[in-house]
A and B are shown apart, each in its own frame.
Chain A
């Protein structure tokens, strides 16, 4: 294959990564923005979403499209419930102290990972794509499902943007993010907003996982890499900024795709991680600086 088509393929693959990454990073960013909690277990919610998608589709059997649609609804709901439970039982009792919650979510990470290993096993298992349609380009055929991931992610991002900026729920969330004490004084149930935001963040990760699982299999260790990438996206994109998150996800996803095709993926990760660490060191206001009150 010539260089041009090869680059196009790498870019398309990168766009698919970006689409999934944007959803997941948005969840992380919402949770950090509103609650000031760094959710280290976010990658495990992603993994749980994928594993549950496998469980739902194999239990239902039958038509892959129906099974997939069922998984797209059921899996995020269960993951959201798990997140809600964790929030009520653990995070709330820690008063959302940033350092304690990091340790607690690390604990959560280990628990979810181990439960997945115990009940799901160490194998990577595939989920059938809802449809198999290949779009033939002049140089190569490309999976129509992969393109539909990009579309679905764009729709979900638009919906989230709409909720955040145009509805009462979004207003309440932004008020809590801006100043939780004043919000409370104005009668906003901050406590319930926190619970909702944490569940919503986890559900976004789960949706991202269900979308990606037909092309990348479900495995109990699949959460770590997306977690690090989401951190990177959130840091580069700036906190609480939906637009920043999407732009950063595009940047990271596409460059990750392109660099991984032409260079070693390990080297790509080393460079990306190092660059982001330096951004955090020399421009801490980019992400965490705006948080200080």
Chain B
């Protein structure tokens, strides 16, 4: 099923170029919003790696996101570390947590996997509240501007500056997008899809499905942690709401909407849902209603999401 790589490469290049160009065109408000969306789209891409390709539905990914968030935020806030060191700590925190959770949760399958991940995430969330003297509890912590300076070879970048922030978010987004595209087309990616389609058969063909699933959980955890760490650094806020159940449900919603197991689906889902909520909150505060109805309609009528449906009907080469 390997196609020539030109069309997908061109498509992704065009998307990246478009996002780059938007930096110069968008009005202030949407510029800031899109920076946030790009960071959260990374979260969705990390979720998609596990949910879309391996078919493991986790209800606890907020813990990986917040592992990065707090890994980066706490080291800056309490230890005064530099931005790269804090970001690295966030990634390591996400990787270690994902490894532990993966080793435990992958012993279960199906519904039990969802409940177990939900419970581990709840433990993580409650722990943040319990250690409120360190984490700031539900008030959260605010990182100051001077703590968020990125020094690159004599050049000092201010991550609170809108353009720098947008470019940093876009850079992270591009790295993760290209990484997921490569993974999706690699041998590893195809083993993951094989596990999703029929785990027993994959095992029979001689693949160690547990090791592959564990690798996917860790990769997914690291990507989500990267998104969380970037969120802390770029928006300067670290709080327990970002670790709550809701932030485990949102990436699921974004991925379902955009299309599971498509590389660009998470971005489309995140952009669309964010703007739907943004627009409706202008008329009503009932944004949870929108989320709820969207979830039910999606699962009833569009289980494959926007890009999944497009791929099935028209554009077969879509990665």
A140 within 8 A of B: no
Contact A94 B126 (CB under 8 A): no
B289 within 8 A of A: yes
Contact A281:B127 (CB < 8 A) given known A107-B293, A107-B294, A110-B292: no
Contact B299 A270 (CB under 8 A): no
Q: Which residues of B contact A (CB under 8 A)?
A: 57, 59, 104-105, 107-108, 110-112, 114-116, 119-120, 122-123, 126-127, 129-130, 245, 249, 252, 256, 286-289, 291-296, 298-300, 303
| A274 surroundings in chain B (CB, below 8 A) | 119, 123
A266 within 8 A of B: yes
Contact A277 B111 (CB under 8 A): no
Q: Which residues of A contact B (CB under 8 A)?
A: 38, 90, 93-94, 98-100, 102-104, 106-115, 117-118, 224, 228, 231, 235, 264, 266-267, 269-270, 273-274, 276-278, 280-282, 284, 287-288
* Count: A-B pairs, CB below 8 Å: 115
Contact of A276 among B107, B119, B298 (CB under 8 A): B119
| A235 surroundings in chain B (CB, below 8 A) | 115
| A270 surroundings in chain B (CB, below 8 A) | 123, 126-127, 130
Whole-angstrom distance between the Cβ of A286 and the nearest chain B Cβ: 10
Contact B123 A110 (CB under 8 A): no
Contact of A280 among B119, B288, B289 (CB under 8 A): B119
In chain A, what residue has the closest Cβ to B51?
A: A99
Contact A90 B130 (CB under 8 A): no
Contact A114:B126 (CB < 8 A) given known A94-B299, A281-B107: no
Contact A38 B114 (CB under 8 A): yes
| B256 surroundings in chain A (CB, below 8 A) | 103
Contact A231 B111 (CB under 8 A): no
In chain B, what residue has the closest Cβ to A291?
A: B111
| A109 surroundings in chain B (CB, below 8 A) | 292
Contact A280 B116 (CB under 8 A): yes
- From A107, A264, A278, name the one whose CB has the most chain B CB atoms within 10 angstroms: A107
In chain A, what residue has the closest Cβ to B103?
A: A281
Contact B119 A110 (CB under 8 A): no
Listed A/B pairs (14) with beta-carbon separation below 8 Å = A98-B111, A99-B110, A103-B295, A104-B300, A112-B292, A113-B288, A114-B289, A115-B289, A267-B130, A269-B126, A277-B119, A281-B116, A288-B110, A288-B111
Contact A114:B288 (CB < 8 A) given known A106-B249, A108-B296: yes
A113 to B296 CA separation, bound complex (whole angstroms): 15
Contact A99 B57 (CB under 8 A): yes
| B110 surroundings in chain A (CB, below 8 A) | 98-99, 288
